[in-house]
Copies of this chain bind each other. A is one copy, B any other.
Amino acid sequence: MSPTELLLQHRSIRKYSSEPIEPNLLNRLLEAGTRASTTGNMQIYSIIVTQDQERKEHLKKCHFNQAMISEAPVVLTFCADINRFNAWCKVRNAEPGYDNFLWFINGAIDAVLAAQNVCIAAEDAGLGICYLGTATYMADEIIELLKLPHGVVPITAITVGYPAETPELTDRLPLEAVVHYEEYVPYSTEKINDLYYEKENLEFTKKLLEENKLPNLAQIFTEKRYKKNDNEFFSEKFLKTLTKQGFM
């Protein structure tokens, strides 16, 4: 399958067989991760591999108890990391100036680029992956569990393993919803109605509305999935973590 065909067929996998991932294959995935573009070729990220079953159970608690975390053979946590670069600078009598917000962002971009390469190499090898958006929500707890030092913050995590499900391709908004030519064009009510029409009329959406007894999909997001109070709570929590790890 061509690389682009593989990208177009991506599904998140949340159920895995118990088959382990061979160390050579895991190395190849990680190697593909390191070939991603990286700020100034500084590689200001680290990847923490969790395979130990007991540790996966602990990690699961950090990710709101999603079952796939203990079921997948491998969990990878991708971190912004200026700790190693700083250590190198200090050994070479160079004064590092990377304990700040800009370098948190640079490290976060580096971490996500590496993560996506690992995911694509994994799918190329017949494995499935799922991103865990909860890595930043529970950054403090993950830092403690994985013993991440000053200068290191988890940005995202993935489960990796052989798929035990074959889900349908999920919907996306029409391309014109996310692409702007030359200048950002504001969204009128009419345009919003057009762009969200298909998503709002999926059978899947209709079922969700019945289950949740809510009048529309947007309210499922705001009332059930990602509520304002929670968002504000986790924003504060993550900012505190960034301060503690030396990025603010």
Contact = CB atoms under 8 A, between A and B. Distances in A.
Contacts of A184: 46, 48, 146-149, 152
Contact-size category for A? 35 or more
A216 B3 contact: no
B124 A2 contact: yes
Contact of A186 (B116, B131, B149): B149
A106 to B, nearest CB: 6
Given A97-B227, A172-B43, A147 B102 contact: no
Nearest to A174: B34
A146 B183 contact: yes
Contacts of A85: 221
Contact of A179 (B39, B47, B231): B47
A207 interface: no
Given A3-B124, A155-B109, A234-B102, A94 B136 contact: no
A6 interface: yes
A213 interface: no
Interface stretch (A49-57, A61-69, A160-168): A49-57
12 contacts: A7-B120, A10-B35, A12-B37, A41-B171, A47-B180, A48-B183, A88-B187, A88-B196, A97-B227, A102-B235, A103-B235, A116-B116
Given A7-B120, A34-B175, A147-B183, 17 more contacts: A2-B3, A4-B121, A7-B121, A40-B133, A49-B182, A52-B182, A87-B187, A88-B187, A88-B192, A91-B192, A92-B217, A94-B223, A96-B222, A101-B239, A105-B108, A116-B116, A120-B120
